[in-house]
Amino acid sequence: MRGTRLSQSPGGGVTELPPAVLTVVGTGMKLVSQLTAEAREAIRDADVLLHATQTPGMGEWLARMNARSVDLTQYYEPGRDRWVTYRMMVDRALAELDGGRRVCAAFYGHAGVYVTPSHDLIRRARSAGYVSEMLPGISAEDCLFADLGVDPGRHGWQSYDATPFLVYRPDFDTSAGLVLWQLDALGHRDYQPRHERSNYEILSRVLGERYGADHVVTGYHAAQYPGVEPLIAEIEIADLAAHEGMSTLYVPPNMQRPADRDMLRELGLIES
Ligand SMILES: C[S@@+](CC[C@H](N)C(=O)[O-])C[C@H]1O[C@@H](n2cnc3c(N)ncnc32)[C@H](O)[C@@H]1O
């Protein structure tokens, strides 16, 4: 796998660390072109490559990069609880580690962003004593910032899986941007081979209560190939249920908070 790993101290010194036997990587959203150099190296050099990507063609490309590759999406089955599938994926990776092999596990986007098995795998591998690391990748949200021209630092940012967003009713802030993920599985625990829209009416009602039914939101689908444009659909909250093929939703703020003048004074940003 990749060469020497070093830890840096704040004083500038470096210490050599043992090499990782498990490396979890993200493959980005677009076919091959968003793969980082370090992820590519980890994919190529592993004894066995386990992968779960959605980008058409990516599985085939990965299999050419590493002759010992296993497609983890084989564990998805219609009607099977997704958490059972995730456990099967993690068990498979741990079995490879137990067999003495250096493993690379590749997930699309950023492997640590809205991916349950990647974090479970790192946790379980570390508790079994395997040196493990996760390398960052380019997520759907990274692509959204670029494609929609939205900067999370401008008004603040909130990011939720759409189902827990409905179930736990967090106290979200309509003066900050909001992104909702996994609309394609809204309200479902089991794997949905086709885009599932039956609960969009509920989401439309809940968002409408806080933003107003005529607030315009953006359905977003990042391009999966270089040179291809993303799908961007602006739609009023009231019409969400009629919208097709949306997996990620961006809800812009609908109000601006006034500055706290006492705080401005305390910070010395205005004269008292
Ligand atoms: C299991 S999560 C995987 C996220 C991925 N690891 C990432 O870094 O973006 C699946 C969710 O990611 C989002 N997603 C996946 N592909 C997308 C795309 N091409 N454009 C926009 N969002 C996408 C959707 O919200 C989808 O329900």
Residue 203 lies inside a defined structural domain of this protein: yes
CATH number at residue 68: 3.40.1010.10
Q: Looking at 110, 134, 158, which one is the last position of a domain? A: 134
Joined tokens for residue 254:
């609908």
Are 10 and 126 in the same domain?
yes
pLDDT at residue 1 in the model: 56
Measure 132 CA to ligand 1 centroid, in angstroms.
24
Are 22 and 45 in the same domain?
yes
Q: Is 139 in the pocket of ligand 1 (CB under 6 A)?
A: yes
Measure 95 CA to ligand 1 centroid, in angstroms.
28
Are 18 and 46 in the same domain?
yes
Ligand 1 atom at shortest distance from the alpha carbon of 54: 16
CATH number at residue 147: 3.30.950.10
Residue 257 lies inside a defined structural domain of this protein: no
Q: Residue 212 carries which DSSP code? A: -
Q: Is 180 in the pocket of ligand 1 (CB under 6 A)?
A: no
Ligand 1 atom at shortest distance from the alpha carbon of 144: 21
Q: Residue 70 — φ and ψ, nearest 5°?
A: -130, 130
Domains held by the chain: number: 2
* C-alpha–C-alpha distance, residues 36 and 136, integer Å: 8
- Catalytic site residue from 75, 86, 130, 200: 86
Amino acid at 92: R
Q: Which of 25, 29, 86, 249 to mutate to test the pocket of ligand 1 (most atoms within 8 A of CB)?
A: 29
Q: 134: Cβ–Cβ under 8 A, 6 or more apart, which residues?
A: 23, 24, 25, 111, 112, 118, 122
Q: Residue 142 — φ and ψ, nearest 5°?
A: -60, -40
- Catalytic site residue from 108, 130, 200, 250: 108
Residue 161 lies inside a defined structural domain of this protein: yes
Ligand 1: residue whose CA is nearest its atom 3? 114
Residue 260 lies inside a defined structural domain of this protein: no
- Catalytic status, residue 265: no
pLDDT at residue 196 in the model: 65
- b/e per residue, 124-159, with b = 16+ CB within 10 A? bbeeeebebbbbebbbbbbbbbebbebeeeebebbe
- Catalytic site residue from 5, 82, 101, 210: 82
CA–CA distance from 97 to each of 186, 210, 256 (Å)? Answer: 34, 48, 51
Are 152 and 129 in the same domain?
no
Ligand 1: residue whose CA is nearest its atom 19? 222
pLDDT at residue 2 in the model: 64
Q: How many residues does the chain have?
A: 272
* C-alpha–C-alpha distance, residues 61 and 201, integer Å: 39
Q: Find the domain containing 47 and state its range.
A: 5-134
Within 10 Å of residue 261's Cβ, how many Cβ atoms? Answer: 11
Per-residue pLDDT of the chain (272 residues; tens, 9 = 90+): 566 788 888 888 888 887 889 999 999 999 999 999 999 999 999 999 999 998 889 999 999 999 999 999 999 999 899 999 999 999 999 999 999 999 999 999 999 999 999 999 999 999 999 999 999 999 999 999 999 999 999 999 999 999 999 999 999 999 999 999 999 889 887 766 666 677 999 999 999 999 999 999 999 999 999 999 999 999 999 999 888 777 899 999 999 999 999 999 999 999 97
* C-alpha–C-alpha distance, residues 132 and 242, integer Å: 44
Residue 220 lies inside a defined structural domain of this protein: yes
The residue with tokens 């219609």 is 78
Are 169 and 62 in the same domain?
no
* C-alpha–C-alpha distance, residues 86 and 91, integer Å: 9
Computed on alpha carbons and rounded to an integer, the radius of gyration of the chain in Å comes to 21
Confirm if 249 and 162 have CB atoms less than 8 A apart: yes
- Catalytic status, residue 82: yes
CA–CA distance from 75 to each of 32, 51, 104 (Å)? Answer: 23, 11, 18
- Catalytic status, residue 154: no
* C-alpha–C-alpha distance, residues 62 and 131, integer Å: 23
pLDDT at residue 9 in the model: 85
* C-alpha–C-alpha distance, residues 245 and 183, integer Å: 9
Measure 20 CA to ligand 1 centroid, in angstroms.
27
Confirm if 250 and 232 have CB atoms less than 8 A apart: no
Are 9 and 130 in the same domain?
yes
